[in-house]
Structure 1
Amino acid sequence: MAKIDVSHVGSLPRTQEVVDFIFAREQEQPYDEAAFDAAMAKAVSDTVRKQVDAGVTIVSDGETSKISYATYVKDRYTGFSGDSPRNAPADLKLYPSFLKRIAESGGTPKYARPMCTGEVRSKGQGELEKDIANLKAAMAEHGAERGFMNAASPGVISLFLQNDFYETRAAYLEALADAMKAEYETIVASGLDLQLDCPDLALSRHMLFTDLSDEEFIKIAASHVEALNHALQNIDPAKVRIHICWGNYEGPHVCDISMDKVFTTLMEARARYILFETSNPRHAHEWTVFRDRKAEIPDDKILVPGVVDTTTNFVEHPEVVAQRLERFVPIVGTDRVIAGSDCGFGTFAGFGAVDPDIAYAKLGALAEGAAIAAARA
């Protein structure tokens, strides 16, 4: 019988103990490093167990030790200090009463976003190696055969940690690619798959580059992929996943660039697995882009559509999940479709719209729906 693997974008809800440790470190408060490490190891074990219990077949560490999927690099690389300007997405600016409401309700995460103010260099792979060890130990303990680990792309780092040191944006991207290269290679050398988080290929259109035309932005996105591919030059694309999104927040999303416009750029990334949103109400219709441009999808690409949402507490019916997956099966075949989520459930430590228990219920529905779609394939 056909099988459809089940995965997700990577970040999962963190326990309060983990959040407290992360923010103690973030705010440079004293904390017990041995207790920190023990808490992370236990939390990763619990996170992997919950994924396996839910039916996830390609697991992650939930990004447990990271403050966020992009800004964690400030703790592992030199060259960052001060604070970067905050840019509200353009769609939220169009609806100021809604923007005010979510800001006043605590609906926006608060964490440091320093500028790049010096040369970007790795402080060593020690923190990464702890993350890898925790994930591999948890996989062995709970019988998970396949895992992946997230890493920030050069482009998304440049989005959230803006440049105030390198002469040009291109030079900053090149420096980031050179610096991140060892992190990417270390993850793959460990036996895990590497996932690159690349919302810069879509989200940054309405967050940072609002003054450009779509065509001008596509050139920016292409330069981001070029930098990423440079960093991946020694890695087998079969071990690489890339995730694109328009922002993991509930909002109007009326300024989102279309998948059709970023499609070619996305396909040029040195990554076999393409993770993208299809539950988001502004992008659910865009499965037709993959249908209509099937000839442009390289034969080695595997599609990982997001078939559960990560911004609401609705638990999708497994039949809805199955129907969403079944849109993609005729395009590339059952063996080239993996069930995924739109984005992460714990993108920022201590912040998430979805209740932790409901997040795992959604993953359970994801697995059930994948089984239904596979049985009907």
Structure 2
Amino acid sequence: MSNVLTTHVGSLPRTQKVVDFIFARENETHFDQENFDAAMTEAVDETVRKQVAAGVDIVSDGETSKISYATYVKDRYTGFSGDSERNAPADLKMFPSFLQRLADDGGTPQYARPKCTGDVRSKGQGELMKDITNLKIAMGKHGVERGFMNAASPGVISLFLQNDHYSSREAYLAALADAMKEEYETIVANGLDLQLDCPDLALSRHMLFTEMSDTEFVKVANMHVEALNHALQNVPQDRVRVHICWGNYEGPHCCDIPMDTVFSTLMSTKSRYVLFETSNPRHAHEWAVFRDRKAEIPEDKVLVPGVVDTTTNFVEHPELVRQRIEKFVDIVGSGRVIAGSDCGFGTFAGFGAVDPDIAYAKLSALSEGASLANRNV
């Protein structure tokens, strides 16, 4: 039997120095590019060091240089300008006083969210190669064998950067898939696993497609997967991770579409690894979906359940982490389970519900829980 490895969803807290540089670029104020690049290299090195110290087996660069996991594409691709309308998730609209509190507390990060107003084309892979180089150097320095890099899926780009150019959603998705294809292939060609962030397969149900029925939404989600799989046509499936989520924010989440409803959609992605939430109070029960639908899990899929939450500063007890891991080991075996986090700890630069030091304490608890589970393998 194989040991259960550890990883996480990708984004990690950024230092204030990094945040200041990112927002200087975001706000188009003057900054020195060489100092910017040096700060990113230094920060990625420290981020990898902390992951290793916490016992994480499969590390990332923490998405250090990105303003967010989806809108970073506006800096690397043509065709985006202006600003998209902000639309709060349906569950937050149900509780306006809480929504206002989040806004007053800075819970709705201010960052550019342009529309698609022209043809989407790559500006080149220069910024991506800087990220790849920083991560690989840090991995070598700290003795890490496996690393992954996040990239936005066509669907999540279409969720946050609304289409005001292409004739239809289908045409926009097709253009995004063609544009993102090289980014995906470049990450894998440089020896890293590729993680596609796909909250559009769940979050967008209660954020953008609220007027649809669940059945109608699943058809849209399947269209998003078709575009994603097209973009992955030249990428080996065993190098791909796909993350689905319902929004990395503390809130009611009472409008979240059930995992049971989008299960088949998730399983149809061209990915070896599927990452999903199972720790927060709204989705912790859904481990049972995987148990009850075990026969529908392709044999080549590896489950990466979130065994620590990313919206609370509670540090999970390693025994609880062990219990969460073992539920999935009992379903598919230890060789097909990797312990992960519900979502990222630094979804937006400069904003995160979890204190940076506590984020790494949670990753340590994740690793300790995995060690306990491995004693029982």
Q: Please report the TM-score for the alignment, with normalisation by the length of structure 1.
A: 0.99
Instruction: Indicate the residue corresponding to 2:238 in structure 1.
Output: 238
Q: Residues of 1 paired with 2:146 and 2:80: CA distance?
A: 34
Residues 343-365 of structure 1: CA deviation (Å, up to 9, x unaligned): 00000000000000000000000
Q: Residues of 1 paired with 2:104 and 2:333: CA distance?
A: 46
Residues 208-245 of structure 1: CA deviation (Å, up to 9, x unaligned): 00000000000000000000000000111100000000
* Paired letter, 1:198: C
Instruction: Indicate the residue corresponding to 1:7 in structure 2.
Output: 7
Q: Residues of 1 paired with 2:374 and 2:289: CA distance?
A: 22
1:272–1:300 Cα contact (<8 Å) kept = yes
Q: CA deviation at 1:374?
A: 1.2
Structure 2 counterparts to residues 1-377 of structure 1, below 5 A: 2-377=2-377
Q: CA deviation at 1:2?
A: 4.1
Equivalent residue of 2:172, what SS?
helix
Q: CA deviation at 1:330?
A: 1.2
Q: CA deviation at 1:104?
A: 1.1
1:2–1:375 Cα contact (<8 Å) kept = no
Q: Residues of 2 paired with 1:55 and 1:270: CA distance?
A: 28
1:114–1:161 Cα contact (<8 Å) kept = yes
Q: Residues of 2 paired with 1:279 and 1:291: CA distance?
A: 16
Q: Residues of 2 paired with 1:366 and 1:260: CA distance?
A: 26
Residues 246-298 of structure 1: CA deviation (Å, up to 9, x unaligned): 00000000000000000001000000000000001111000010000000000
* Paired letter, 1:165: H
After superposing on structure 2, the runs of 4+ consecutive aligned residues of structure 1 that deviate more than 2 Å are: none
Q: CA deviation at 1:11?
A: 0.1
Q: Residues of 2 paired with 1:154 and 1:310: CA distance?
A: 24
Q: Residues of 2 paired with 1:33 and 1:105: CA distance?
A: 32
Q: Residues of 2 paired with 1:37 and 1:351: CA distance?
A: 21
* Paired letter, 2:194: L
* Paired letter, 1:228: L
Aligned identity (percent) is 78
* Paired letter, 1:352: G
Q: Residues of 1 paired with 2:101 and 2:32: CA distance?
A: 38
The two structures, once aligned, show a CA RMSD in angstroms of 0.6
Equivalent residue of 1:329, what SS?
helix
Q: Residues of 2 paired with 1:263 and 1:2: CA distance?
A: 26
- Aligned residue pair count: 377
Residues 123-173 of structure 1: CA deviation (Å, up to 9, x unaligned): 000000000000000000001110000000000000000000000000000
Q: CA deviation at 1:86?
A: 0.5
* Paired letter, 2:261: K
* Paired letter, 2:302: I
1:280–1:309 Cα contact (<8 Å) kept = yes
Q: Which runs of 5+ in 2 are unaligned?
A: none
Equivalent residue of 1:354, what SS?
coil
Residues 157-210 of structure 1: CA deviation (Å, up to 9, x unaligned): 000000000000000000000000000000000000000000000000000000
Residues 74-133 of structure 1: CA deviation (Å, up to 9, x unaligned): 000000000001110000000111111111121211100000000000000000000000
Equivalent residue of 2:6, what SS?
coil
Q: Residues of 1 paired with 2:304 and 2:248: CA distance?
A: 17
Q: Residues of 1 paired with 2:334 and 2:67: CA distance?
A: 36
Equivalent residue of 1:328, what SS?
helix
